[in-house]
Each structure stands twice: as C-alpha cells, then as structure tokens.
C-alpha cells in the first residue's frame, strides 16, 4: 500500500476490564478494574506514552441489564462516573485527550456545560463531550419515568441541548477576566454574554460560572447513526464514534456525513469520523486466533443471550432456541441503528442466536479484526485512505493486555507506514485532532459586521 500524507487519529476506548463480554475472566485482566483508579491511571499513562489522541469513557445512568442471572456473571454493573474519573486522570497525564459520554436525555445543559468547561481548565484544554441520547429503559426508571423517552423526542431535545451548552460555553469572551488588583476590576462587564435561551425543552438564562475554556470550548463528539443521529452529527459533531461491520458500510457512512456537513455550511474536514475497531493481535495469525478463542470460551450462554437481547433494543430472546434463527423483531425505542446493524448481520450471514452473540461478544457490532500486526494495519490503512474513516476508536479485548498488544505490535507497523505520529504536535485535544479553536461567537459576529460595513462603504 502507498504511504499516506495524512495520519490516523486514535482513541483508546477504555471499557473497565476490556470490551469482550467475558474479559473480566481473562487470567491477565484486572477483575476489579471498574473501581480501581490505579488501573485507569496506568492505562491512561500507557496510551499517552503511545501518543494516542484521546482516551474515551462510555457511560449510562443505570444498570442496563436487569436479568440477574446474566448480570451477576458480567463486569458491567459497577463503574466510575466518567467526569469524576477523567478529572483525576487529568492530574496524572499531560497531553492525551479526555473524552466522556454524558447523555442529553437525563441531564441538564447547565450541568453539562459547567462540568466539561471545568475539565477543560483542569486538563489544560484536553476535554471532549460525547453527546448521546440514552437508549435504556432502566435509565428512565432512575429519573421519575415509567417509560423511556420516545426516540424522536430524545433527538429533538438533544439538538436544543447542544445549542444551549455551546451558548453557555460562550458566556465570557476569552479576555473577559482582568483580575486587576490595583484597579479592583475583576472582569470586564462588556465581555459578559448571558444566554437568555428560551426554547421548547429548556429555559436557561446563564451566564455559565466558568470562564471560557482553553480550547474555546471542549470538543463535541457524537455517536448516533440513525437518520436523526446522522443529521444531528453533521450539524453539531466534531468527532463521530460509529460502528460498522463492513468497509462498504463505513465508506457509505463517511460520504453521507461529509455531504451532510457541506449542506450545513461546514468544512467536511471539521468532522473526524472514528469507527470502533476491536483488534485481537498476535505475532502470527494462529496466535491471534488462539487469543480470541480463549476469550470466546469464557462466555456463559446466559450472558451471551442477554447481551444480544439488550443490543437489539431490549427484546427478550431467552425463550427462543439458542441454535435457531433470530426472530423478526419489533422496532425498538432504544438504539435504532445498532438494532438494524445486528439484524442485517444475522440475515446476511444466516446466523443463529448463538452464532450472533458469539460474533458480537467482543466488538458488540463494531468491526472485529483478528490477525497479525500487518493484517490489522492493512485494514486500518484501507479504511483510512479509501474514505472509510479519519481514525479509529481502539476497543481492547481485555485490559491491560489488549491495549499493550496494540501499542507494542500494531503501532510500530502503522508508524513504519507513516500513518501515525511518533510525537504530539500540540498540547490540546483540538490540536491533536487537527481541529481549529473556535472563535467566540459574539466577537466573530461583531467582526463580521464591521467587515461588512467597511466593504459596503468602500
């Protein structure tokens, strides 16, 4: 393959004990990882030493699996609140980006704006917000609701939520805070911009009680792939995390999002598309396949069926023959794009329920690569150079060993091909990703008005 002039962006997606559903049972896994800060600190340091763009923490505001027989056999029931954890990790790292999921469905814009702006200051400009809408019924029941909010309404709320948060992040101009002791002037009142937002879902006066952050604003990440999710991402996102099964799917999504971005008046390069990749790497193909087989052997059937039930939108498959086909499913009010991805996979490859849960037990619908450093690099290079991705979210099978394998085996091959950095080019997440620091909107509007007036009088 030819040498690329661009370079791949990489996120280290840290899922407690690892992304495989049975990862916590791996002999080398840190079984108490969900509540072990030293585990996360060491992973963050390793990812930073390897020059990853960011670490990423997913989240939900509830225990998604309510089947105790399955729940009691998985390491998904306890984990840190991500912003608390990232704030602590900011103190033990210097340059790596810090991205966390926070849902727009069961939070308020002011809280989210304040927390991420604070993290951006604490970290020196390294924070990113993964904007999602919640997908689980169990989350709703933790917030005074019997039923989950309807899909279309979740996305309408998310769109307005995003606009409010961005408005709050521009409450203060960059140089608003003088803190001048001799004059007694703490801030310049002319550089304060209360939001005064009143919309369908939110009424927020502002201003935010955190100054404008080092990046101008934290990086906005989005993860939806349904039609509503794609449209929201094309308008709002700077990074998109997404799941694909095939290169054709990746290429079609990439082109669709970049085209939608142009329709919104955006530069397509201002959105970085980063599919999740689940790599199992060995020095030989046989070694890689053996590593994967050992993980697969650790899956309890009850866990596998419940995992699939959750991922297809909460439809209970426990009453169906495990070696029979996936039944026809009703449309979900949960994650629509993930449900469709799994239905398509089952129908395309004629998979039974057992075969399907075995197929997704590691990557959970993302692309799975089991191979040598060269074959893994080949796939990443193809997707990157042929309009399928700008980078990848690396979903380590188990932790810490799976991340170590990628760093020690795959990264040298990517660097040999000129596809990944050897040193950071900057200090902020925006600089790592090649994203511009956004100007303050009120300042930019005033400058545009002056320029227009000058052009009219010329």
Quote the radius of gyration of the chain (alpha carbons, Å): 23
C-alpha–C-alpha distance, residues 232 and 251, integer Å:
19
Specify burial of residue 71 (Cβ count, 10 A radius: 0-12, 13-18, 19+): middle
Residues 6+ away with beta carbon under 8 Å from 199: 160, 163, 164
Q: pLDDT band at 3, cuts 50/70/90?
A: very low
SS (H, E, C) 286-353: HHHHHHHHHHHCCCCHHHHHHHHHHHCCCCCCCCCCCCCECCCCCCCCCCHHHHHHHHHHHHHHCCEH
Q: pLDDT band at 66, cuts 50/70/90?
A: low
Question: Is a pLDDT exceeding 80 seen at residue 65?
Answer: no
Is 59 part of any known ligand binding site?
yes
Report the pLDDT averaged over residues 53-71.
83
Buried b or exposed e, range 302-335, using 16+ CB within 10 angstroms: bbbbbbbbbbbbbbebeebebeeebeeeeebbbb
| pLDDT tens column, 391-428 | 999 999 999 999 999 999 999 999 999 999 999 999 99
User: Cis peptide before 207, with omega less than 30 degrees from 0?
Assistant: yes
| pLDDT tens column, 106-156 | 999 999 999 999 999 999 999 999 999 987 777 888 888 878 888 889 989
| pLDDT tens column, 359-393 | 888 888 889 999 999 999 999 999 999 999 999 99
Contacts by residues 26-30 (CB-CB < 8 Å, ≥ 24 positions apart) = 26/294, 26/295, 26/298, 26/398, 26/401, 28/398, 28/400, 28/401, 29/398, 29/399, 29/401, 30/399, 30/400
User: Cis peptide before 131, with omega less than 30 degrees from 0?
Assistant: no
Is 103 part of any known ligand binding site?
no
Question: Is a pLDDT exceeding 60 seen at residue 59?
Answer: yes
C-alpha–C-alpha distance, residues 232 and 104, integer Å:
13
C-alpha–C-alpha distance, residues 424 and 297, integer Å:
39
C-alpha–C-alpha distance, residues 38 and 23, integer Å:
18
Q: Ramachandran region of residue 287, left (φ > 0), alpha (ψ -120 to 50) or beta?
A: alpha
Residues 6+ away with beta carbon under 8 Å from 17: 23, 24, 26, 29, 30, 31, 33, 34, 75, 398, 399
| pLDDT tens column, 173-217 | 999 999 999 999 999 999 999 999 999 999 999 999 999 999 999
Q: Give percent above pLDDT 70 in the chain.
A: 98
Residue 41: count of CB within 10 angstroms of its CB: 16
Residue for token digits 């001048």? 180
- Least-confidence region, from 4-18, 63-77, 435-449: 63-77
What integer pLDDT is reported at residue 268 of this predicted model?
95
Is 155 part of any known ligand binding site?
yes
C-alpha–C-alpha distance, residues 278 and 272, integer Å:
19
Report the pLDDT averaged over residues 13-26.
94
C-alpha–C-alpha distance, residues 234 and 239, integer Å:
10
DSSP H or E segment with residue 274 = strand 272-281
State the pairing for strand pair 185-187/177-180.
antiparallel
| pLDDT tens column, 231-283 | 989 998 999 999 998 999 999 999 999 999 999 999 999 999 999 999 999 99
Domains of the chain (ranges; CATH) run 9-283+372-445 (3.20.20.30), 299-361 (no CATH)
Average pLDDT, the chain: 92
Does the pTM surpass 0.75? The reply is: yes
Buried b or exposed e, range 204-223, using 16+ CB within 10 angstroms: bebbbebbbbbbbbbbbbbb
C-alpha–C-alpha distance, residues 115 and 154, integer Å:
22
- CA angle, 437 then 438 then 440, to 5°: 130
What integer pLDDT is reported at residue 293 of this predicted model?
95
| Residue 122 token pair | 């604490």
Q: Give percent above pLDDT 90 in the chain.
A: 71
Question: Is a pLDDT exceeding 70 seen at residue 42?
Answer: yes
């Amino acid at each position: 393959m030819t040498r690329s002039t661009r370079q791949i962006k990489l996120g280290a997606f840290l899922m407690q004990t690892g992304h495989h559903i049975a990862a916590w049972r791996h002999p080398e896994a840190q079984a108490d990882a969900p509540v072990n800060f030293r585990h996360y600190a060491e992973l963050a340091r390793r990812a930073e030493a390897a020059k990853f763009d960011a670490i990423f923490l997913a989240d939900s505001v509830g225990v998604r699996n309510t089947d105790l027989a399955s729940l009691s056999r998985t390491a998904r029931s306890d984990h840190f609140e991500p912003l608390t954890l990232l704030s602590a990790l900011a103190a033990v790292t210097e340059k790596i980006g810090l991205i966390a999921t926070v849902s727009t469905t069961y939070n308020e814009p002011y809280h989210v704006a304040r927390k991420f702006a604070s993290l951006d200051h604490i970290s020196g400009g390294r924070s990113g917000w993964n904007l999602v809408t919640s997908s689980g019924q169990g989350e709703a029941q933790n917030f005074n609701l019997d039923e989950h909010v309807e899909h279309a309404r979740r996305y309408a709320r998310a769109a307005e939520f995003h606009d409010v948060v961005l408005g709050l992040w521009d409450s203060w101009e960059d140089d608003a805070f003088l803190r001048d002791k001799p004059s007694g002037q703490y801030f310049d009142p002319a550089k304060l911009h209360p939001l005064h937002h009143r919309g369908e879902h939110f009424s927020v006066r502002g201003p935010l009680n955190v100054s404008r952050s080092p990046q101008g604003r934290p990086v906005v990440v989005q993860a939806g792939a349904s039609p509503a999710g794609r449209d929201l991402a094309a308008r709002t996102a700077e990074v998109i995390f997404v799941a694909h099964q095939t290169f054709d799917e990746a290429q079609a999504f990439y082109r669709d999002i970049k085209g939608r971005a142009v329709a919104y008046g955006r530069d397509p390069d201002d959105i970085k598309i980063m599919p999740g990749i689940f790599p199992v790497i060995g020095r030989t193909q046989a070694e890689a396949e053996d590593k994967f087989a050992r993980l697969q052997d650790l899956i309890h059937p009850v866990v596998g069926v419940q995992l699939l039930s959750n991922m297809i939108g909460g439809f209970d498959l426990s009453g169906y023959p495990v070696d029979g086909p996936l039944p026809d499913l009703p449309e979900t009010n949960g994650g629509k794009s993930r449900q469709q991805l799994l239905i398509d996979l089952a129908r395309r490859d004629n998979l039974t329920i057992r075969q399907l849960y075995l197929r997704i037990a590691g990557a959970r619908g993302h692309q799975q690569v089991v191979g040598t450093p060269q074959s893994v690099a080949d796939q990443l290079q193809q997707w990157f150079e042929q309009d399928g991705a700008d980078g990848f979210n690396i979903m380590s099978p188990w932790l810490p060993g799976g991340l170590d394998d990628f760093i020690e085996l795959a990264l040298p091959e990517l660097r040999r091909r000129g596809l990944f950095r050897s040193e950071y080019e900057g200090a902020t997440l925006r600089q790592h990703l090649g994203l511009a620091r956004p100007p303050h909107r009120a300042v930019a509007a005033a400058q545009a008005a002056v320029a227009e007036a000058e052009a009219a009088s010329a």
